[in-house]
A and B are shown apart, each in its own frame.
Chain A
Amino acid sequence: MKHFFTILSHELRMLLVSASTYIAAVMFLGLMGFIFTGILEKYSTAPQDLSPTIVFFQLFWIPVIFMVPLLTMKCLAEERRLGTIETLLTTPVTTAEVVLGKYAAAYLLYVSFWSSTYGFFYILRRFAGDQHLLDPGPIVGGYVFIAVSGLLFIAIGVLASSLSRNQAVAGIVSFGLLFALIIGGRYLADAAWIDSESLGPLKAAVDYGQVLQHYEDFTRGVVDIRELLFYATGAALALIFSILSVEVKILHS
């Protein structure tokens, strides 16, 4: 892992000098600000059951399915399209170091985007003078959930990027995978046919992989080790497949 930090710092640098990062950041913060304002307006007219923080983080999947493909689609697809993967892998660097370095850079950027939304809560606290809307529990739970689930989401984006040399294809694949994981899982759990006796194990698996359910647990302060494990192993699996995918594509190039 000698070269991991070289690649990580290089990737971070490249992300920070590219215009697309800033466009993505502005759009992300614009969208989240819009959602946040909408929630506050709703709360100012009528009392609601849930804390506004919970409602805010509940919509995490909207930026996730757009942002993660944007951040990750370039990382391996572009290297292969330009052919720079060949110069990269003929230095004493392993494929694992390359993939992990790029993954870590995208993850850090993803987390830093999200952490900048803390500004919303800060402004509200500063100017509203009303503390009852800002329960610290759900805020901490929400951010912990974002950090933990991001491990898996970014890994899925990296995997999609390793599958194609075309950025657009990589982006759409990762969009599709994330959509299936977050929203598709929810629909599957609600479907009637899955309740039948013979599909018991499948039902259990689908219930285990309910991302939105995990979110609710986190904001309620329940940090279940099984859920942490779900994201950690999912991320590890996606990264192992990414590494294998890069190596296999070299063999068949």
Chain B
Amino acid sequence: MKSEETPPAAEAPAIEVSHLVKTYAGVTAVNDINFRVPRGEILGFLGPNGAGKSTTMRILTGYLPATSGHVRICGIPVADEADAAKRKLGYMPENNPLPEDMRVSEYLYFRGRLKEVPRRKLGPRIDEVLELCDLKRVRHKIIGQLSKGFRQRVGIAEAVLAEPPVIIMDEPTIGLDPHQILIVRDLIASLRGRMTVVISSHILPEIEVTCDRVLIINQGRVVAQGAPADLRREILGRSSYEIEIAGNLGSLPLVLGTIDPTLRIADEGKPGADGFRRIQLATERDDELGEALLRALVGQGLRVRALSRAQPTLEDVFLAATRRSWDAVAPPAPAAGFPHRP
């Protein structure tokens, strides 16, 4: 095989994707995606529906062939050595398909055999993942009768069963209640450092809490990537404050200028019955201006009732990033990013 350019498996990044393109019958679902995931990192894959998340994940697992480009899992090219690459992977597809008429432990045993876990080690390993995913109570139950939360955890148990270095999960928390989401989140966090995890989701707080790094894709392109905090700064670029204030506001812009030259009024609300109005301020500065702001406003004889610093969430980042890319690529490709699924 083509091993001369492949770095030794021990140093290779867990996932390496270069110039990945996938077209379905003329529609480009994935358009020249590049990214690397170092070992032990948890990567969040964000994007609106039809952005190409599932398609990219399926190509990573070798289930779908790419139209062009390269994917390496732990240095192994997926297209050329599919079997070797699949041994490095645990995968949970979208909607977590499971056979209806098997018992949980039977299913895990069967999957373990397929993933070439030695028969001797399989029994103890199944006990271990059942414990990890809190499935001991239902190990003899039939999968078709389990609730959604249990089924989801069976899917995760199955993905981690063979202790693969790379785990790919397509929307692992979809359809779960907040309590179950918490359990799944802890479960994923417990894999940090030991395994490389790629999860996709459009539940943003989910990704923000769990992931070390976020990759936002839209219409088959990577529109932003980085740590959640960096992305926030990069895309939104500044912090903003909200104050509730009453009094003569004519001098307000001047006062703001003395605190910080870039501080300005972004939005001004109508005064309420009690004379207080809500005002939003934006600044280019990253550091805290709250105290200075409060002192200056009170010093001018204005009555301040509330001051808060607005933290842009990943949601804002996501909306900003996807909107930005929408504007950029919308005209030439009206249908792009919606892979045809019969």
Contacts and interface: CB of A to CB of B under 8 A. Distances in A.
Interface in A69-112: 82-84, 86-94
A250 B100 contact: no
A54 B252 CA distance: 106
B116 A83 contact: no
Per DSSP, chain A at the interface is helix
Contacts of B316: none
Contact of B114 (A17, A82, A93): A93
Given A90-B91, A91-B115, A10 B86 contact: no
Contact of B93 (A6, A18, A87): A87
Contacts of A2: 116
B89 interface: yes
A252 interface: yes
A40 interface: no
B127 interface: no
A6 B99 contact: no
A183 B158 CA distance: 47
A14 B83 CA distance: 26
A153 B149 CA distance: 42
A18 B101 contact: yes
B98 interface: yes
A82 B97 contact: yes
Contact of A6 (B64, B91, B114): B114
A125 interface: no
A89 B115 CA distance: 11
A86 B97 contact: yes
Contact of B99 (A7, A84, A92, A253): A84
B125 interface: no
B62 interface: yes
Given A6-B110, A92-B116, A87 B86 contact: no
Which residue, A82, A92, A250, has most C-beta atoms of chain B within 10 A?
A92
A229 B214 CA distance: 59
Nearest to B65: A251
Nearest to A13: B106
B61 interface: yes
Contact of B62 (A6, A10, A14, A90): A90
Contact of B100 (A82, A91, A94): A82
A3 B99 CA distance: 18
Nearest to B63: A90
B111 A91 contact: yes
A87 B97 contact: yes
Nearest to B116: A92
Nearest to B341: A253
Contact of B110 (A10, A83, A86): A10
Nearest to B102: A14
A14 B106 CA distance: 10
Kindly name the residue among B92, B97, B106 whose own CB sees the greatest number of chain A CB atoms within 10 A.
B97
Given A18-B101, A82-B100, A253-B342, A87 B91 contact: yes
Interface of B: 24-25, 58, 61-65, 83, 86-87, 89, 91-93, 95, 97-102, 106, 110-111, 113-116, 158, 341-342
**3 nearest CB pairs, A to B:** A83-B97, A91-B114, A90-B61
Given A86-B93, A87-B92, A252-B24, 17 more contacts: A2-B116, A3-B113, A7-B114, A18-B101, A84-B97, A84-B98, A87-B93, A89-B63, A90-B91, A90-B93, A91-B86, A91-B115, A92-B83, A92-B116, A251-B65, A253-B64, A253-B342
